[in-house]
Amino acid sequence: MIKVGIETHGCKLNQADSQSLINELESRGFQVINSDKDVDVYILNTCTVTHVADSKARNSIRKARRKNPKAITVVTGCYAERDPSTVKDMGDVDLVIGNKEKKDIVDGIVTIFDQLENSSFLQGQDREYIRSGSVGQINNDNSRTRAMLKIQEGCNQVCSYCIVPKVRGREVSVDPEKLIEDIRNIEKLGYREVVLTGTQLGSYGFEIPGETLYTLISRILDKTNIERIRVSSIQPQELTTDLLGLWTNKRLCPHFHVPLQSGNNRILKDMRRRYSSEEFIYVTDLISGTIEGAGITTDVIVGFPGETDDCFDDTYRVCTLADLSDIHVFPYSRRPGTSAYYISNQVTSSFKNNRVHDLMALARQKNNAFVHRSTHSKHNILWEKPSYFQDMQVWSGLTGNYIKVLSSNTEVLYNSITEAEVYLDKQGVVWAY
């Protein structure tokens, strides 16, 4: 059986794409393994949101080729979409497929095998089965607890710093009945949680009459039985009181990722964001005032062109005032093909680094305070995998409000949901008991 290794960089949308690819590979007779060594096919699903992501992709390609010099190497995802010529010119890649052609990856792999003379990979019945594309039962490899489900793709908002609209295209929503069918299949495979992913979740259904994110979640709650539903990310202007009201249903995880990007209104306008810092604070207050114990995480870009010390102080102030459980901090990355690339007033790396340092320190304070508030109360924990802590085997799990938790329970907890109190030890590790 042909062994395939898949490495995924970047966002939850990429993770959803990789899960779909795994399902198709397995249904066509390939064996997907959790390794990049000793594979016959290596697939890299790339990110291109920053220049660091591009560099990481190139390093992963070289590393995979060193480990598997005879393997077929496939590069897909956003970097492959944005700059396929650079990827091809590396000389270490057999197949470069952008986001728009991801559905053709498996057929492309089969075509390459067919072109290999005296291929030792495909013989007899294996060759015919993999060629045929007949879809059989998707295998459950006992390593999956949370399923990433793409409900829409693309972005029409075109923020000035963001390359994503060019590599993901215009907004397109998945048919709601198809999503219900997908979730029912996810349930049958034993998953306990589904994560709704997309580029702009709040825009879901804009081209489908009568459909919105509100109607989709309502439909999922009504027509499926999966125990936990998580929404990956939503813009501040799209979080309405009606939508938030759905979270009275305990199947919806009380975790909200609401991007801020900047706390300065001039910078937000230059970024072409569609909300103000005051609206962001209002939304985070609305969440924490409505849903007890909710986790609220955010993204912040530091060092956008024209960001002065006063602008950064506004961002720091907003992050301090907002009831956040964590802050993901990114230094601004100048991306060719975006309008912000041409702004002359760029911020130096030293200023960016200092501001990143200050904001990450605040993020740690925020996260510690949130975890402390969450201790000595009951949480439903989904146990995902065995792990090790100081040479002791433990179980690693995730609460509904997105706290990573360990347990020293000797029972097999894999893919179970248990109710437990959590506490924080002196080393900053969260335990369930």
Same domain, residue pair 340 and 393:
no
The CATH number linked to 18 is 3.40.50.12160
Task: Find the mean pLDDT for residues 369-385.
Answer: 94
| Enclosing domain of residue 356 | 287-374
Task: Mark which of 112, 132, 152 sits at the end of a domain.
Answer: 132
| Rg, the chain, Cα only | 23
What's phi and psi for 57, nearest 5 deg?
A: -65, -45
Task: Find the mean pLDDT for residues 181-200.
Answer: 95
Quote the CA–CA distance of 237 and 202 in Å, as a whole number.
9
pLDDT level of residue 116 (50, 70, 90 thresholds): low
Whole-model pTM over 0.85: yes
Same domain, residue pair 56 and 7:
yes
Same domain, residue pair 248 and 169:
yes
The rounded mean pLDDT for the chain is 91
Same domain, residue pair 391 and 364:
no
Q: Per-residue pLDDT tens for 144-178?
A: 799 999 999 999 999 999 999 999 999 999 999 99
Same domain, residue pair 299 and 210:
no
Q: Is 49 a member of any domain? A: yes
Q: Is residue 46 within 8 Å of residue 77, measured between CB atoms?
A: yes
Quote the CA–CA distance of 245 and 235 in Å, as a whole number.
17
Same domain, residue pair 76 and 175:
no
Q: Is 259 a member of any domain? A: no
Same domain, residue pair 150 and 102:
no
Quote the CA–CA distance of 38 and 358 in Å, as a whole number.
43
